[in-house]
Amino acid sequence: MPFIEVIDCGCCGYFHPQKSDGDCRDNADRLTGDQLDAQFGTAGWQIAEKAE
């Protein structure tokens, strides 16, 4: 199963992939914790320490 690091966005309240382009309006990059759990499993994602 793949692993992903996400950014906890303070602007929109969603998570974004760390390698996102930073556009909060991109619905494909707006994820909830439940969506991440369903797609990657509870151990398949983590909040990144900082954005790249």
Whole-angstrom distance, CA of residue 32 vs CA of residue 44: 14
Determine the pLDDT at residue 49: 84
> Residue 44 to residues 4, 13, 36: CA-CA distances in angstroms?
6, 20, 8
What is the residue type of 18?
Q
Determine the pLDDT at residue 19: 83
Whole-angstrom distance, CA of residue 43 vs CA of residue 3: 8
pTM for the full predicted model = 0.80
Predicted confidence (pLDDT) per residue in 7-44, tens digit: 999 899 999 998 877 778 888 889 999 999 999 999 99
